[in-house]
Structure 1
Amino acid sequence: MTQNDSDSDFLPLKVISVGRDGKRRFDKRDRQRLIEACLQPGVSVAGMALRARVNANLLHRWICEHEKTYRGEGATQGSGDAAAFVPVVEIACADPQP
């Protein structure tokens, strides 16, 4: 997907504030637009992170949180497509029939 100027006018992300710990806070609307842009087919998350001037791992975490929220998995962990091991218990008959 190629982005023209109107699609990427929110890049780089606007920093709203910087905390005492050095963490930057970003504009929520622009952050949401970035996440939605990353969800388009063929878009490189690492490339978008560079354009937005954020760490690629942070952007990936935002995308994962977005997907969990919109799939309804935010409150229930362990649900979804995750594989799970289920113990199999064999029950032997105490009185086998002849």
Structure 2
Amino acid sequence: MSTLQPYDHVRVGEDGPVPAGIYRVVGTGEETALLRVGTIDGRRVTTGEVVHVECAKVEQFETAENPDSGPSLGAVLAPFKAVVEAVRYRLPF
């Protein structure tokens, strides 16, 4: 049984048993179910790709940061949107 818990993240290299990338643990048991959530360089992807890997092999993968942990584009752009909305409402139309 894997010591990884659901929502942990692992990085699989080019030489791994599954396509390279960052995976979120979505199930554990005799095998560990992994959902691909990022590229090998940490960019977020939405593939829906789920793979099953033997627990002994999963334990060899390095841990990784959640690719969702950074600020979202919406959060970055929110202050600019607020300024545009404020100017728009003050213009006489």
TM-score norm. by structure 1 comes to 0.24
Q: Which structure's residues are more often helix, by fraction?
A: 1
Q: Which structure's residues are more often strand, by fraction?
A: 2
Which structure has the higher relative contact order (CA within 8 Å, separation 6+)? 2
TM-score norm. by structure 2 comes to 0.25
The structure with the larger Rg is 1
